Amino acid sequence: MSLALVNILPSDTTIPFIKARFVAFIVSAAMIIGSIGAFATMGLNFGIDFTGGVTLEVRTEEEIDADKIDEMRGLLNGLGLGAIELQGLSEIDPESDCFGNRCALIRVQPQEGEGLEAEEAQQEANLAVQGALTDQYPGIEFRSINVLGPKVSGELVQAGVTSIIVALVLMLIYIWFRFEWQYSVGAVLALVHDVIITIGMFAITQLEFNLSTIAAILTIVGYSMNDTVVVYDRIREKLRKFKKEPLEVVLNRAINKTLSRTILTSVTTLVALISLWALGGAALQGFAFAMIFGVIIGTYSSIFIAAPLLLITKVKRDTVEG
């Protein structure tokens, strides 16, 4: 099966990727500027992991349609707990508990207070919401309950940002030792490109940004780096073999030689991720969507950003043994 798929893709393509580098740089610059602008003006829709507050996932025997959502919202707004968000959850799997629009996600804003007082206020809000829903809807099921105070959520924000920065620095060091500094600069700039645009996508779509998203971004960094290393390995191999050809020709030859592998890897990964997004339920949809977007943008950056940057950093042929 795998050999048949490989044979579908030509092994001797001569697509002029490097000639398209200026267009790619302009497109990437536009996406980066747009992402930064969206982040600055719209911000991110932080989940409870980063904001604190109370999140409850509930299930009822009756369908939770738009009228039922409005009814629940009116009930909970009467508790005086501040902003409350409700979102219906639906599953396409008939075996799922949420099949038939019988589940809903409830978010309650962080309660005022500091330190222990804030923690107690969150717990009181949680109990108040559960009590009101139980009285109004006998038999309601609380499938999950998360209560986070502002101190814990603040620490999670710091840990999340730190993990991304540390990952990028370690990747820089790894590529520096694996290849030369010219390669490491290209690889890390491509990774920063992927991270910024992925965060921009979350700012524009206002999808919930939580710890699962951080995990997705770190996974994207690893995936993109793996793709870039494959391309760089082939570039180094071609530099040894074609020492007198122009650098642009050698880079283009190397990209085309890895194109089949790149496409097959990306497509098979996307098939799994799309299945996860469609069937994994609401809890996994944000993670899966981030991964789908990241695989696409990571594949693009490996070909159109990481490799062409070697022309700018002027990778030296005399560093290539052969």
* pLDDT band, very low/low/confident/very high, at 3 (cuts 50, 70, 90): very low
Whether pLDDT at 124 is above 50: yes
**What pLDDT digit, counting tens, does each position of 268-320 carry?**
889 988 888 877 666 677 788 889 998 999 899 988 988 888 888 877 665 54
Final residue of a structural domain among 148, 181, 196? 148
* pLDDT band, very low/low/confident/very high, at 15 (cuts 50, 70, 90): confident
| Domain co-membership, 72 together with 128 | yes
| Domain co-membership, 169 together with 273 | yes
Whether pLDDT at 247 is above 50: yes
Task: Return all residues near 13 (Cβ < 8 A) that are at least 6 apart.
Answer: 256, 259
| Domain co-membership, 160 together with 16 | yes
| Domain co-membership, 123 together with 211 | no
| The predicted structure's pLDDT at residue 281 | 63
| Domain co-membership, 173 together with 82 | no
Domain that holds residue 28: 2-46+153-319
Q: For residues 47 and 138, is the Cβ–Cβ distance under 8 A?
A: no
Query: What's this model's pTM, rounded to 2 decimal places?
Result: 0.73
Which CATH number goes with the domain that contains 232?
Answer: 1.20.1640.10
| Domain co-membership, 90 together with 123 | yes
| Domain co-membership, 307 together with 184 | yes
Final residue of a structural domain among 112, 128, 148? 148
Of 253, 303, 227, 291, nearest to 25 by C-alpha is 303
- With DSSP H G I counted as helix, E B as strand and the rest as coil, what are the percentages for the chain, rounded to 5? 70, 10, 20
The tally of domains found in the chain comes to 2
Cα 144 to the chain's mean position, in Å?
24
Which CATH number goes with the domain that contains 94?
Answer: 3.30.70.3400
| Domain co-membership, 157 together with 100 | no
How many whole angstroms separate alpha carbon 117 and alpha carbon 102? 35
| Domain co-membership, 170 together with 200 | yes
Cα 279 to the chain's mean position, in Å?
18
**φ/ψ (deg, to 5) at 168:** -65, -40
**What pLDDT digit, counting tens, does each position of 37-78 carry?**
999 999 888 777 677 778 888 888 888 888 888 888 888 888
| The predicted structure's pLDDT at residue 26 | 94
Final residue of a structural domain among 148, 180, 214? 148
| Domain co-membership, 86 together with 165 | no
Q: Give the other-Cβ count within 10 Å of 239's Cβ.
A: 22
| Domain co-membership, 90 together with 62 | yes
- Averaged pLDDT, 138-160: 74
**What pLDDT digit, counting tens, does each position of 158-217 carry?**
777 788 788 778 877 877 777 777 888 888 888 889 989 999 999 999 888 887 888 888
| Domain co-membership, 182 together with 304 | yes
